[in-house]
Amino acid sequence: MDKPSPPFDPKDFRRALGMFATGVTIVTTCSDDGTQVGVTANSFNSVSLDPPMVLWSLANNARSLPVFSTSQDWNVHILSNAQEALSNRFARSGEDKFAGLSLEKSISKAPLLPGCSARFQCRTAFQYEGGDHTIFVGEVLQYDSSSLPPLLYVKGGYALAAPMAGPVSTESQANLEGASYSENLLGYLFGRAHFQFVHGLRGTLQARQLSDTDFFVLSLLSVRQPLTTDEIAAHIAYTGVDLASGALQSMVQRGLLLEHVGDATQLRLSPAGSDAILHVLAAAKAVESDLVQRMGELESAGLRNLLKQAILATDPGLPKLWQAPVHF
């Protein structure tokens, strides 16, 4: 590790500081003339429990510094992982940052934003010199928090936190003449997670005499329809389902799909098909809710995030499912 001496290259110094992960906050206040002000800051931290105090710092050349310096009241919002766009909005200058936001009632005139992981309503206790920044230490007068997973900022980009889990069964590993496979193989974990999830829908699928193929086709058409048989195949061939064996024709015969014969035959859900997939999706949402409740919101959000990365990394070039607007 090189050890630069002052004066430091600001970009490299900033990069080294970026190794310290932080949450992301928006700090808001209101000027005497009623102008609402807000900035994105990750320089927040807790300071004191008794009295309850937090701090953050603001650049001395920030346009909002005079307002924060004179106004005594400000609100710190710890952003949730769904508020990346809000973070970006308040990090820019110039526009009306509060346009279109529904604000909540605050104990002061400072704007209070919804949808956060936690919020602290503060009054300045100390204002300290800190080089090219001013450090604001505030006494917390009121606070609240939610279970929404927080947004993170680390190494110059947004991130999610992923807590650690224990083993599924045991850590031992099987060996077969040199080849080995263990519960740590992502391929095994994907399959087991998938089939256990579908297992939770099995009763609903069987009650309606739906095969896995029926389920995949109905799900697809519930998102986008009508589709030609070729388009359906392009979307679901990667599952290994063989549509050539008359699966779609069987679904038409059983009244699940409606066929529109034209240049290319197009298929859409029949009323019975719509009804069937509605019930299966309702069952899927119940399995999902139960899973999220057992795993926790933070873990679920982290898992979604990482599954998406894995899916992008293994995408065999599937057509985009949610790309176009959907009309029913």
Q: Which residue, 11, 64, 12, is CA-closest to 41?
A: 64
State in angstroms the smallest separation of the CB of 183 from a second copy: 6
Under rule CB under 8 A, how many of the chain's residues touch a second copy? 155
Among 21, 103, 207, 264, the residue binding a second copy under the rule CB under 8 A is 21
Interaction mask 136-175, a second copy, x per CB under 8 A: -x-xxxxxxxx---x-x-xx-xxxxxxxxxxxxxxxxxxx
Contact positions with a second copy (CB under 8 A) in 24-63: 25, 42-55, 57
Binding to a second copy (CB under 8 A): which residues in 179-238? 179-187, 189-202, 212, 219, 222-224, 238
Of residues 19 and 99, the one with the C-beta less far from a second copy: 19
Cβ–Cβ under 8 Å, residues 76 and 122: yes
Q: Which window, 94-102, 246-254, 258-266, 306-314, contacts a second copy (CB under 8 A)?
A: 306-314
What track of x and - describes contact with a second copy for positions 243 through 262 (by CB under 8 A)? --------------------
Q: Which of 239, 245, 249, 253 binds a second copy (CB under 8 A)?
A: 239
* Shortest CB 99 distance to a second copy, Å: 21
Q: Residue 230 belongs to what H/E stretch?
A: helix 229-236
Which residue pairs from 266-271 have beta carbons closer than 8 angstroms and sit at least 24 positions apart in sequence?
A: 266/226, 266/227, 266/228, 267/221, 267/225, 267/226, 267/227, 267/228, 267/229, 267/232, 268/221, 268/225, 268/226, 268/227, 269/218, 269/221, 269/222, 269/225
Query: Which residue in 19, 99, 244, 261 binds a second copy (CB under 8 A)?
Result: 19
Please report, as residue ranges, which positions from 308 to 327 form the binding site for a second copy (by CB under 8 A).
308-316, 320-323, 325-326
CA distance 315 to 190: 14
With CB under 8 A as the contact rule, the residue among 99, 176, 244, 261 that binds a second copy is 176
Choose, by CB under 8 A, the member of 66, 130, 203, 246 that binds a second copy: 130
How far are the Cα atoms of 77, 126, 142, 187, 195 from residue 191, in angstroms, in the given order?
A: 39, 56, 47, 6, 6
User: What region does 260 belong to: left with phi over 0, alpha with psi -120 to 50, or beta?
Assistant: beta
Tell me which residues in 87-116 interact with a second copy (CB under 8 A).
none
Residues 6+ apart with CB under 8 A from 269: 218, 221, 222, 225, 256, 257, 258, 277
CB of 245 to a second copy, least distance (A): 13
